[in-house]
Amino acid sequence: MRSPSRVRLAQLLGLAFLAALAVLPVKSALNGALGRDVGFLPAVAAVVVAAGLGGFLPGLVATGVSIVLEAYMFMDPGGRLDVAVESDRVRLLLFGLVGLLASTLAWLRDRAQDDSHRARAEAEVAKERTDLIVRRLSALQGLAAELAGALTRDHLTNALLAHGIASLQADGAVIFYINPGEEHLEAIGSRGYSPAGEQVMSILPLDIPTPATDVARTGESVFIEDPAEYVARYGPSLASHGIEVLPHSVAAVPLAIDDRSFGVLGFTWDSQHEFAEDRRDFIAAIARLGAAALERARLSSAEIGHAAEVEAVIGALGEGIIVIEPDGSVRSDNAAAARLLGGRVASLAELLGRLRDAGGDAPSELPASPTEFQLRARRDTSVEIVAYPVAEPAGTFPPTTVVVCRDMTAFRQGQGLREAFLSLLSHELRTPVTTIYGGSSVLTRPGASLSEETRTEILADIASEANRLYRLVEDLLVLARFDEGIDLGGEPSLLQRLVPIVVEQERMRWPAIQFAVEVALDLPAVRADETSVQQVLRNLLSNAAKYSDVGSVVDVTVEAVPGGVAMRVRDHGAGVDTNEAESLFEPFYRSPKTAKMAGGAGIGLYVSRRLVDAMDGRIWAAPAEGGGSEFTVVLPTYEGEFSD
């Protein structure tokens, strides 16, 4: 029931009293007009009016006053309140009950009206709150939808700032990020501020007191409703750092995930702004959505970066990698797999179709352990295949499979080369060592009586085989040096001086062969290593002499060519075939055409090419006109300055 003010209550009680007094002239007039007592009808009217207008208490006052006046004025004995007649007392009692009933009904009416007003007011408040909640939920839903579709951090920050300002009717908003290990906040997005303000906020050291830095340090939200309070609270400190403080109402809340704070979301209003509890909760909800989206973007960016790193690593691997989906399609592969298999494969069936096992058939499934196959399109290529199923959730079958392809061709060729090397080397070493050991044993045998001719012949054999062994070791040492990496060809060399010396040395080793030397005049210096040039020329001369008939001539020509100087060694022996000219420079290769004519390890020409390449030169072999073979070495002209 409504509680009227004291003045209002006094007015209502006065009205009730006057209503009761007004009954006296009315009843007197009625009694005179009718010639009899009309009873309590006028008094009941007064009570009803008083109760209707004033409620319970005025109705009771009107009832009481009417009883007193009725007894005093109209009942025997007149002028007194003690009513003598029993029926009059009953009538007074009944009137009192009627007045009480009328007052009670008026009270019930007032209470019902109060309840109705209160219910209506509560309904209005509830409706307004419901509308507010709906608007806020709609705003949060719209924000969530846009954040879900954002792919970059910039898109996320722009969406968060725009929706936050629109939903809160703020004048400005800013997002700060806390970089791990750094003592400052970095503004990654802002709206509603001047360029100067944005410049000030771009980097905020944590030791400067601001709402944002307070949130970053404590993890607790900061709400300042009165702009004057903001200026008083932060103005002096910011002014000491040369930062102007403009009056704002401020709301700053942490951006946090699982109690891990990584940023601050701030809103400002140019005028005073109230932050009721539900409004603070709404701002916190915006911050939670923003934090989740920013964290998702960070994780997504990290995942994309990690995936790119993995793709780069897989792409850089020398081994082929193929990822096959459960349906047999190829999800991805790297360049090494495409190169090894002769092109990209689109499915498991296509991969298996490119392989052939030891029996010449295509495998029916991927091997679970390393298994070697040949390629159908390139039978000289050996491929080792092994499949690794990727662990999948229970009930998923078949799983995704990662297939690793290794090129075993070089390994198999290396095995063959090693076997050939060991076989040739053992033979090439055995012959000179046996000769040297046997000859030295004969010469040092006690009591041996050898003729001078025999001793000279044995010593010549020992010297020849020692020289042969020396050259073999020299070639092997060069191979070892190339494994470590060497750089040749930095100094000027004169081939017109070197070539005759080397030819003369070889002439003594091969007395049954004639060497004809022709060196052009005024040859330029070449950029080369003299020791390496001598070794290359010795190998070429030795090969030419070894595969020539007794009495044959080996021609050596040195002449200028564009960009350098050429050494040509021509023999008149069995010659080389054009289709095997390049193979001669492969390690341990010996031409079937000449292999039985003389021994050799098959490394001299290989070493020669390596040395010439290291000096930026060229070497090649070709059939000579009229029979035999011709080996040519071209070394570049020296372009530097000559030292004194």
Distance between CA 81 and CA 333 in Å, rounded? Answer: 117
Structure tokens at 172: 């400005």
221-238 mean pLDDT: 90
CA distance 97 to 103: 10
Top mean-pLDDT range of 46-60, 223-237, 628-642: 223-237
How far is 324 from 503, CA to CA, in rounded Å? 64
Q: How many whole angstroms separate alpha carbon 322 and alpha carbon 86?
A: 119
Q: Quick one: pLDDT at residue 414?
A: 60
Average pLDDT value for residue range 17-21: 73
Spatial distance between the Cα atoms of 7 and 442, rounded to a whole number of angstroms = 152
Q: Which pLDDT does position 585 carry in this prediction?
A: 82
Select from 566, 571, 554 the least CA-distant residue to 503. Answer: 554
**Domain over 150-303 is classified CATH 3.40.50.2000:** no
User: Which of the 8 DSSP states describes residue 579?
Assistant: G
Question: What is the CATH T-level fold of the domain 321-407, as seen in this structure?
Answer: Beta-Lactamase (3.30.450)
**According to CATH, where is 1.10.287 located in the chain?**
413-479
* Interval 334-341 mean pLDDT: 85
- The pLDDT of residue 1: 47
Across 63-221, where does the E strand assignment appear? Answer: 172-178, 184-191, 203-205
pLDDT tens for residues 245-256?
888 899 999 998
Residue 172: pLDDT band by 50, 70, 90 thresholds? very high
d(CA 61, CA 52): 13
* Residue 437 pLDDT class (50, 70, 90 cuts): low
pLDDT above 80 (res 614): yes
pLDDT at 640 over 50: yes
Please tell me which residue, 442 or 60, carries the higher pLDDT value. Answer: 60
Q: Are 425 and 433 in contact (CB under 8 A)?
A: no
Q: What is the pLDDT of residue 499?
A: 93
Q: Please give the pLDDT value at position 393.
A: 57
Q: What is the pLDDT of residue 555?
A: 93
Q: With bands split at pLDDT 50, 70 and 90, how would you rate the model's confidence at 316? A: low
CATH architecture of 486-636: 2-Layer Sandwich (3.30)
Tell me the pLDDT tens digit for each residue of 513-567.
Answer: 999 999 998 899 999 888 888 888 988 998 888 888 888 899 999 999 999 999 9
Give the pLDDT of residue 154: 86
The confidence score (pLDDT) of residue 383 equals 87
User: Rounded to a whole number, what is the largest CA-CA distance in the chain?
Assistant: 196
> Does the pLDDT of residue 33 top 60, yes or no?
yes
- Hey, how many other C-beta atoms are within 10 angstroms of the C-beta on 541? 25
Mean pLDDT of 213-217: 90
Q: Which amino acid is at 222?
A: V
The sign of the dihedral angle between the CA atoms of 443, 447, 448, 450 is positive
Instruction: For residues 121 and 127, give the distance between their C-alpha atoms in angstroms, rounded to a whole number.
Output: 10
Task: Tell which wins on pLDDT, 394 or 88.
Answer: 88
> What is the spatial distance between Cα 405 and Cα 384, in angstroms, rounded to a whole number?
6
Which two structure tokens, joined as six digits, stand for 426?
Answer: 């053992």
413-479: CATH topology is Helix Hairpins (1.10.287)
> Which own/partner contact pairs does 586-590 have at CB distance under 8 Å and 24+ positions apart?
587/417, 587/421, 588/417, 588/420, 588/421, 588/424
Whether residue 589 is predicted with pLDDT greater than 70 in this model: the reply is no
Q: Please say if the pLDDT value at position 397 is more than 80.
A: no
Instruction: Give me the sheet containing 172-178, strands edge to edge.
Output: 203-205, 184-191, 172-178, 260-269, 249-257, 222-224
pLDDT greater than 90 at residue 584: no
Q: Stretch 269-276: mean pLDDT, rounded?
A: 91
Statement: residue 305 has pLDDT above 80? no
pLDDT of residue 472: 63
Checking if the pLDDT of 303 tops 90, the result is no
Range of lowest pLDDT (339-353, 402-416, 518-532)? 402-416
Q: Mean of the pLDDT values across residues 554-583?
A: 89
- Position 418 confidence tier, pLDDT thresholds 50, 70, 90: low
Q: 3-class DSSP state for residue 298?
A: helix
Residue 460 has pLDDT above 80, yes or no: no
Pairing of strands 330-333, 320-324: antiparallel
Task: Record the tokens describing residue 439, joined without a space.
Answer: 């000859």
For the chain, give every residue range classified as CATH 3.30.450.40.
150-303
CB-CB contact of 623 with 577 (8 Å): yes
Q: How far apart are CA 571 and CA 546, in angstroms?
A: 10
In degrees and rounded to multiples of 5, residue 631 shows phi and psi of -110, 130
Q: Which of 276-290, 325-339, 396-410, 528-542 has the lowest mean pLDDT?
A: 396-410
Q: Average pLDDT for residues 399-403, to the nearest whole number? A: 85
Please, what is the average pLDDT of the chain? 81
Task: Tell me the β-bridge partners of 633.
Answer: 567, 619
